[in-house]
Each structure stands twice: as structure tokens, then as C-alpha cells.
Structure 1
Amino acid sequence: MSIFRWVGVFLLVALISGCGGDSKFRTYNGPEVTRVIVMKNKREMYLMHGSKKLKSYDIGLGFAPVGDKWVEGDGRTPEGTYIIDRRNPNSRYHLSVGMNYPNVIDVAQAKALGQRPGGDIFIHGQGPYYKKGAPRDWTAGCIAVTDRQMEDIYAMVKDGTPITILP
């Protein structure tokens, strides 16, 4: 093979490998995240390994951030302990991981009020729908971080991880 062909093949490989850009899917090889803790009053979320804090994030909450979620559409972020049980790589908010809200207690509370508890509570990024200058608490009840932070969370937090959301 001539030198020109080798140069051409090298340039083609370099061009193709450069087309991918930054992937939103990251890898994580550190200690296992054994629990996620959300402190609503501080607007902070912690990724924990046992009692050691691995990462902390400033967060946004539902547009009505004070109090527990009782019914669908109330704009509140639920309080209690749940499990991360799904992930959405095609979320309209960049990436997201979902939790098993509502649980049996949440359903019973909403039913007692003659309402539905709602659902689809996620930790998610901002995505293209987040408006610059929007209030800090802008979601319908989810927990929001930046897209870049969500990439780390998506890589670090596995399905089955408990999440405790405190007032």
C-alpha cells in the first residue's frame, strides 16, 4: 500500500472517530452508590457509599417545593423512601432515572382524598425545554440537575438503589 493510501486511511479513521462528539453516556468505575439522599430544604442531593458522601449536587424541585406530594398535579416533590427502578436514555430532559413513586402509602393517601397520586417522578437534567432564567424549582415534582451532572448520576446510580427524600 502506498504512503498516500495509508495517509488517506488514517485521515478517514480520524474523521469518523471525531464525528461522534461528546457522548452523554459516561462510565463510572468508583465505589458503588448505595443510597441517594435528597434534602429538599437545602436543595441538595447526595450520592452515598455507606456513610461516605461520593458526590453532592444543587437541585431544583417541583414548582411547589414545600410539603409532601399528595395528589397528581400539585407540583410537589414526594417525601419518603423509594427505589430507583428505571432509566430513560431518551428523556426530553436529557437523561433521567425514575423512582417507584407512588408506593402503597402514596396511593392510599391520594385515594382518601378522592384523587390520583400522580407518577413519573424522576431525577433528570434540563434538556432543551428548560428555560434560562426559570425559577430554581421548575419541575412538575421531579428533581432536576444540570445535563452534565445528570450524565454522572446516570452512570453512577444503578436500578435498585434506594432514594430517601427528606423535607
Structure 2
Amino acid sequence: MRIIADVIALVVVFFAMPGAGFGLEKADMVVVVKSESRLYLKCDGQIISEYHVVFGPEPEGHKLQEGDGKTPEGKYVLDYKNANSDFYKSIHISYPNRADRKRAVRSSVDPGGEIMIHGQKNGAGWLASISKYFNWTQGCIAVSNKAMDEIWQAVDAGTPIEIKP
């Protein structure tokens, strides 16, 4: 009876740990480095996973307005997940923030929005091996569907993201 109780206790402790049983560790920070075309999942300051990413057609510089093809730079939050996205799965980035909106007002432009980390366009996942060589989004951060599945599991809504040049 004591052995059964010990086994049950171990199972409870194991499955209570973040990502336990699935080989996943939860990220407490996401960092994207545009010049490296890389997305890093971090936990306690350590890189736990990294992925190749692509951006919009104008990846250099901070997003200033809707339609400029740029991906924002700065500190944001991954504020919600969308399992029914047009692009496999997506995780929304909280762009524009207050500073982005102020900048847009001063320039009399629309800052845009709906910036996401997402997988491939639904029905076009087979293009991932080719599309990884091109910046094809409208300013989002795109990964393969396989990478999106891993990121989806490792990142919870509310996780901070920093997008660097």
C-alpha cells in the first residue's frame, strides 16, 4: 500500500510541473531578433528553444503605420491566442502600445495592428520549406506550423515579448 501511495504522489508532482509529461518548458519571455531572423523562447533568462522566423517585406526599422510592411520593435505582450486563425495558429502581439499610438497621431497616420506570431497560411503549410526564405507577411512574425505548435505549447497569454532590430 505504501508503494502505491508513493507512486501516486510522484505522478501528481510530475504532472503538476509546467510542461511535464510533454517535454515542454514554459517560456516566461519571448525575444525576436529581426537581424538574425530568430525567435527565442526564454525561461529565467536562459534560451530554452529557438526558431527561424520571417517578417514583412520591409523588415528593417520599427513599424510606423498600417501597410508599411514592417514588424514593430520594442516591448509588448503576447495577449491572446487564436486557434482559428487564417494562418494555422496565431498569438497576438499587443502592438500598438501607447508610444506607438502617440507617434501615429503626431504623424497623422494609422499605426495598424493585428500583429501576430503565426504559422503558415491555412492550406499552404506545404510551402513552409520555401516560404522560410522570403519575408512574406504584412508585418507579422511567421514560423513553420511545427514551430508554431511548439511555441503555442510553451507560451501562455500574458507572456512578454521583446522585438529587437
| Distance in 2 separating the partners of 1:129 and 1:102 | 29
Letter in 2 for 1:155: Q
| Distance in 2 separating the partners of 1:154 and 1:166 | 21
Please state which structure has a larger fraction of its residues in helix: 2
Q: Could you list the runs of 5+ residues in structure 2 that have no partner in the other structure?
A: 1-17
| Distance in 2 separating the partners of 1:129 and 1:110 | 34
Q: 1:141 aligns with which of 126, 139, 142?
A: 139
Residue 47 (structure 2) pairs with residue 53 (structure 1):
yes
Moved over 4 A (4+): none
Number of the residue aligned with 2:92: 98
Larger CA Rg, structure 1 vs 2:
1
Q: Could you list the runs of 5+ residues in structure 1 that have no partner in the other structure?
A: 1-26
| Distance in 2 separating the partners of 1:62 and 1:129 | 17
Query: Residue 31 of structure 2 contacts residue 41 of structure 2 at CA under 8 Å; is this kept in 1?
Result: yes
TM superposition shift of 1:31 = 3.2
Number of the residue aligned with 1:163: 161
Number of the residue aligned with 1:122: 116
Number of the residue aligned with 1:154: 152
Change (3 A) 1:34 1:130: same
| Distance in 2 separating the partners of 1:137 and 1:97 | 18
Residue 67 (structure 2) pairs with residue 70 (structure 1):
no
Q: TM-score, normalised by structure 2?
A: 0.80
| Distance in 1 separating the partners of 2:44 and 2:103 | 31
Letter in 1 for 2:157: D
Letter in 1 for 2:153: A
* Deviations, residues 18-49 of structure 1 (Å, cap 9, x unaligned): xxxxxxxxx94343311000000000010000
RMSD over aligned CA atoms reads 1.7
Change (3 A) 1:65 1:131: farther
Number of the residue aligned with 1:89: 83
Letter in 1 for 2:30: V
Letter in 1 for 2:64: W
Change (3 A) 1:161 1:65: same
Letter in 2 for 1:84: L
* Deviations, residues 83-121 of structure 1 (Å, cap 9, x unaligned): 010111011110010011100000011111110100000
Q: TM-score, normalised by structure 1?
A: 0.79
Letter in 2 for 1:138: W
Query: Residue 92 of structure 1 contacts residue 129 of structure 1 at CA under 8 Å; is this kept in 2?
Result: no
Number of the residue aligned with 1:36: 30
